[in-house]
Structure 1
Amino acid sequence: MSTHGEQRGGNRRSATILDLDIAATRGGWLLVALCLAYAVAALWLQPYRYLHLAQSYAEPFVFFLPSLLAAGLGVAALIFARHAPIRFMLDTLTQRWLGAAPVIVLFFLGITAFTTLKVAIPDVVPFYADRALAGLDLRLHGTDPWAWAHSVVSEPLSAIIFASYGFGWLVQWFGTLLFVAFWNSPARRLRYLWAFALTTILCGTVLATLLSSAGPIFYDQLYGGDRFAGLQAALAQNGHATPVQAYANYLLAAYESGRPELGTGISAMPSMHVAFVTLNALFLTGFGRRWAMAGWSFAALILFGSVYAGWHYAVDGYLSILVVSLLWYLTGRFALPHVTRNTADAGVALPDPGAAVSELT
């Protein structure tokens, strides 16, 4: 009896895993179609900008991603395959490149489309929402959030904020996507990629266009007056804020000239920085408490930094957190409809980061 029961249990687990594989395959093709449609739409609407930006992104993309991939695989190899790190790296690339390559290519097409459409936002819907957003921030917090942020963080500590918001955010953004690209967990991989694509399209294009806004750092230049003169003065007096001011000048010059340059486009609501760290925090939560704490701590730091640097109103981040959390829930219902204890026991679920990395070995 026990033998037959074990066989039936094994058959049920095998059938469930097969169902997940089929669902992941179908969902994967739908995701590819969505990403390609997004890229084609941007190319059709703004052909010059799209092609120019594709060329601009190609060089840093080709350099940065392999460097980050090599660094990530190197760290993983030293931790989990110290006896043969080179073999670990080569085996991972050999076994997983075929599945990872489409993700990387679609990401390149998607980020080019995202920037193309972001640059075009003020052409479609001129900036209008800043007064309402600034007023909402003031009513919710009793003061301008940037003023409170500068009152609780000293100039020396601001160096950590600026570094995290710039380079740290970029590394986490690309690094998490690369990990998922090489991850051998079909359903959870699909869930993350769906959430990533929908976050980009809905938050970065649809909502950003409907709620066209520039952010506190550009408020006075675009609307006139001195509503955020205090913010400008605080940044000017902070020696660590020089890169922020330089990048703001770069964005403003590109906006005024209409040139589609690398990393350009002005859009405040919702915050894409906060959106992606929220997505990654939700993702990391699945690997255990320590990873959840790390992910959510970094997300809180980026939310604070977005206000401290003046790029965003606090409500920009709040909306991002709300929308991304909803997307994460919905993609879980779509991509993980049959994940049960049986599938977890069969190795589909990854309860800890060690198991996640072991999927790459």
Structure 2
Amino acid sequence: MSSDSISNPFVVAAPLIVATTYAFVVIMCWGSGHTAELIALCTGYVSAIMAACVFNASAILVYAVWIRRRRGEATSVTSLICHFLLERWRVDRGLSLWQPLLTFIVLMTAFTFFKQSALRGAGFGYGPWFADADRTLFGTDPWRITHILFASPWSTQALDLAYHAWFAPMTLGVAFCAFAKPGSILSWRYLLSYCLLWIVLGSLMAYAFPAAGPVYFAEFQHQAGRFAELSQLLASEDATLRMHGASGLSALTYQQHLLVNFKHGTIVMGGGISAMPSLHNALAVLFACVAWHLSRSLGRIMTGYAAIVWIGSIHLGWHYALDGVVAFVATIALWSLSGLMIQSARGRLYAKPWLSRSVATAMLAGTLWRRRRERSR
């Protein structure tokens, strides 16, 4: 491997280790008596990631065949597949291929179960606080601003489609990591950040600051009037769209589906209700972070998409505006942390002058503080 790749297998496997540790804690604390649900979730996520792998592999194969034919080289799909698998086995015994897939399965099974078991008992007590914070920051409820800017039902339909298209890169991105160059630093940072977002934001912070989105305000806060106008407006736009032959707002269908499952206590893929912080927004920001490392053009596109997801999360009543702001700050912090971690693992972190000075200053301050305490005794 080159000097710009990761060769230590324990570092390469760090995302899987993090995901497995998280899953172990979740299952030990809340998994008793839920074996059937866990198996069903695991099976569902195996199917999802394998479908993403088939899609990615097909696209890569088509591209590889096209390139070789342009060069006038003999092409065989079977030989390309065999060469790829043999090369992965030679380099790292296939670790770079199966580790992202297994990480996704373990992480998403544990998170989905956690969200519908542990988070269910946390309540939604912070909803009114976030709603008031939004009104203070923006001078009014932010959804009123978005519905002025995007007043047409067709604008709402576009935001709805863009918002829910997020599920594709959420899975395809992990599958692409399996086909990346073995030891790829970018794919490692993406996968580790991906795990940390679901664990730190989606689990720890969501449990510490439990809240449901504005569309559920009347259901869980018993204040029917606070966001009733938003719900009525979305229902009216949905009816208008369907009357004109459009598919309507899938957000309303999903929101009702989540509420029914929550009330019945069923555990299903994609289930659970939680608003703060927004993982939709967090992962959209993560997509943008990776895109900027690939090209400026792609970075601009994905940054624009992240902004659309934030607007859509407010416009469709899924989230408070503050949910997306917190998600943005936390995602940038975790992405930066992943960069520091990989530099540390490769022995380059402490070669940075600014960090060396910071560490030396901290060590000196600690020494002086200890001496002062000893003298005071």
The TM-score normalised by the length of structure 2 is 0.78
| Secondary structure class of the residue paired with 1:214 | coil
The alignment status of 1:69 with 2:53, answered yes or no, reads: yes
In 2, Cα distance between equivalents of 1:94 and 1:234: 57
Letter in 2 for 1:165: Y
Q: Post-superposition shift, 1:190?
A: 2.1
| Secondary structure class of the residue paired with 2:186 | helix
Aligned to 1:86: 77
Q: Cα deviations across residues 317-341 of structure 1 (Å, max 9, x unaligned)?
A: 110110010011111011134599x
The alignment status of 1:249 with 2:256, answered yes or no, reads: yes
Q: Cα deviations across residues 151-203 of structure 1 (Å, max 9, x unaligned)?
A: 2222112222212222x111111111111122115233322221111111000
Aligned to 1:155: 153
| Secondary structure class of the residue paired with 2:114 | helix
Q: Post-superposition shift, 1:37?
A: 1.3
In 1, Cα distance between equivalents of 2:84 and 2:136: 52
The alignment status of 1:188 with 2:186, answered yes or no, reads: yes
C-alpha contact (below 8 Å) 1:188/1:336 kept by paired residues:
no
Where structure 1 has 5 or more consecutive residues not aligned to the other structure, the ranges are 1-12, 341-361
Q: 1:115 to 1:146 in 2, by over 3 A?
A: same
Aligned to 1:3: none
Aligned to 1:358: none
Of 107-116 and 151-160, more deviation after overlay is shown by 151-160
Q: 1:63 to 1:91 in 2, by over 3 A?
A: farther
> What is the count of residue pairs matched by the alignment?
323
**1:107 corresponds to which of 100, 104, 108:** 104
The alignment status of 1:282 with 2:289, answered yes or no, reads: yes
Aligned to 2:230: 231
**1:264 corresponds to which of 267, 271, 277:** 271
Q: Post-superposition shift, 1:269?
A: 0.2
> Rg: which structure is higher?
2
C-alpha contact (below 8 Å) 1:272/1:320 kept by paired residues:
yes
Q: Post-superposition shift, 1:224?
A: 1.3
**What does 1:39-54 correspond to in 2, within 5 Å?**
39-47=23-31, 51-54=35-38
In 2, Cα distance between equivalents of 1:90 and 1:294: 35
Letter in 1 for 2:200: L
Q: Post-superposition shift, 1:249?
A: 1.6
Q: 1:193 to 1:138 in 2, by over 3 A?
A: same
Q: Post-superposition shift, 1:27?
A: 2.1
C-alpha contact (below 8 Å) 2:41/2:269 kept by paired residues:
yes
In 1, Cα distance between equivalents of 2:76 and 2:33: 43
Q: 1:339 to 1:282 in 2, by over 3 A?
A: farther
Q: Post-superposition shift, 1:31?
A: 3.4
Q: 1:297 to 1:242 in 2, by over 3 A?
A: closer
Aligned to 1:316: 323
Q: Post-superposition shift, 1:307?
A: 0.8
C-alpha contact (below 8 Å) 2:38/2:113 kept by paired residues:
no
Aligned to 2:7: 21
C-alpha contact (below 8 Å) 1:274/1:303 kept by paired residues:
yes
Q: 1:146 to 1:184 in 2, by over 3 A?
A: same
Q: Post-superposition shift, 1:107?
A: 1.1
How much identity, in percent, do the aligned residues show?
24
Q: Post-superposition shift, 1:314?
A: 0.8
In 1, Cα distance between equivalents of 2:194 and 2:33: 23
Where structure 2 has 5 or more consecutive residues not aligned to the other structure, the ranges are 70-74, 89-93, 239-246, 349-377
Letter in 2 for 1:47: G
